Amino acid sequence: MQDVRRIAAADKVQKLKAGNPNALARQAAAEAELAEDINYLSSEAVELVEPHEVLSYQKPGVQDGVFRQLRLGHYEIQGALDLHKKRFIQARAEVFAFIRDSHRIGLRTLLISHGRGEHGKPVPALLKSYCAKWLKEMPEVLAYHSAQRHHGSTGALYVLLRKNAEQKRENFERHAKRW
């Protein structure tokens, strides 16, 4: 053991990937796509909800009157997203893009139709459960609640977004005290 020494970096053996060059190119493209994915919505296990369960979420600071108006469907729906018949990966991407784009252009109240998933196999209400989790993860979302019957009942959500930077500036200018 006296003459044992650490292997220099140049002496290490590089492992060569063997296999189909097309498969290697596809794998490299998939890895690059994952590295570029800015979608931070989780795809890990979720606490499952029942198909007819009413979903409700309100961040601290959202006024109760504002939340009540949202819950009752009194706000004008400015944008809608339908996730029926969408696969998990596609739904995750669409929810992320829809919320981000809606916030950027200044929409405040949205309707997301996810369906109840009563007959979903192998797990009922999977997309509904993930929508509830994803919306909580997004900083743009202030609150959400299951929709009224005419908008889809427990198969849809009203979503309230916070103001974007331009809306905040306009609000500040409108309410600024003039000396």
| CATH 3.30.1330.10 matches 56-169 | no
pLDDT tier for residue 36 given thresholds of 50, 70 and 90? low
Read off the pLDDT of residues 92-142 as tens digits, 9 standing for 90 and up: 889 999 999 999 999 999 999 998 877 767 777 888 998 999 899 889 999
Output the 3-class SS for 119-149: CCCCCCCHHHHHHHHHHHHCCCEEEEEECCH
Higher-confidence position of 145 and 22: 145
Instruction: Identify the pLDDT of residue 19.
Output: 63
Determine the average pLDDT of the residues in 141-160.
Answer: 94
Say how far apart CA 90 and CA 84 lie, in whole Å: 11
Torsion of CA 119, 125, 126, 130, to 10 degrees: 160
Say how far apart CA 33 and CA 35 lie, in whole Å: 5
Instruction: Identify the pLDDT of residue 112.
Output: 94
Report the SS3 class of residue 79. Answer: strand
Average pLDDT along the chain: 84
Does residue 14 register a pLDDT over 60?
Answer: no
Say how far apart CA 36 and CA 34 lie, in whole Å: 5
Q: Are 129 and 47 in contact (CB under 8 A)?
A: yes
Q: Are 83 and 112 in contact (CB under 8 A)?
A: yes
- The residue with tokens 């200018």 is 173
79-82 sheet: strands from edge to edge? 56-58, 141-146, 156-161, 109-113, 79-82
Cβ partners under 8 Å of residue 93, min gap 6: 39
